[in-house]
Amino acid sequence: MNKVHTESLDVRGQVCPSTLLLTLREVNRLKDALHNGTTLLEVRTDNRHATVTIPNTVKSMGLAVRVHKEEQGYLIQIGAEKD
């Protein structure tokens, strides 16, 4: 099993739509690596609205999303969909 590279994006302090736009910019940048499953993007946010907008958008882009509640905000993991 190939090791998956993890990229991090911290958008804490930002609110929507900035959190979404910053996340999408990273997703665009890492597009191929995210779709082929070699990279996992971890987004940290403390904006609750972002836990809805980010997953909705990246899911429609064909990516898989998981949201975890952390002590200071949320961790949103974005990666390739599994077959």
Partner 1 sequence: MTGGKQGEELAAEVAVDVLTPAALRAEVTRLREENAALRRRDADMVAYLRAKIDQLLAVIGTVPLRAEELDDAELVAFDPINIIAGAFVQILESQRHTNEQLRAARDEITAIFNSVGAGIMVLDTNQKILSFNHRLKELFFPAAHRVTGQTCIDILCRASAPPEGCVYHKVLASGHVETTQAWPFDDRYFDVIGAPVKDKKGAVTQVITVYTEVTKRKQAEDALLLALDEAFAAQELIEAVLRSVREGLLVTDETGRILIANPALLEMFSEQRTRVVGLSLATLFPDSTLAERFAEALASGVPGEPFDVRLEGVAPRSLQVRLALLRTANDTVRGGVVTLHDVTRERAIEQMKSDFVSTAAHELRTPLTAILGFSELLLDTTEFSADQRREFTGMIHSKAEDLAGIIDELLDITRIESGREIDLSLEAVRIDELAVASVDFFRHSDNRHRFEVSLSQQPLLVYADPRRIGQVFDNLISNAVKYSPAGGSIHVTLGAEGSFCAIAISDEGIGMSAEQIERVFDKFYRADASNSAVPGTGLGMTIVRQLVERHGGTIQVSSLPGHGTTIRFTLPLCTEGKDT
Instruction: Give the binding site for partner 1 (CB under 8 A).
Output: 15-18, 20-21, 24-25, 27-28, 31, 49, 52-53, 56-57, 60-63
- Shortest distance (Å) from residue 49 CB to partner 1: 7
SS3 content of the chain, % helix, strand, coil (to 5): 35, 35, 30
Q: Would you say 32 or 71 has its CB closer to partner 1?
A: 32
- Shortest distance (Å) from residue 35 CB to partner 1: 8
Q: Is 62 left (phi over 0), alpha (psi -120 to 50) or beta?
A: left
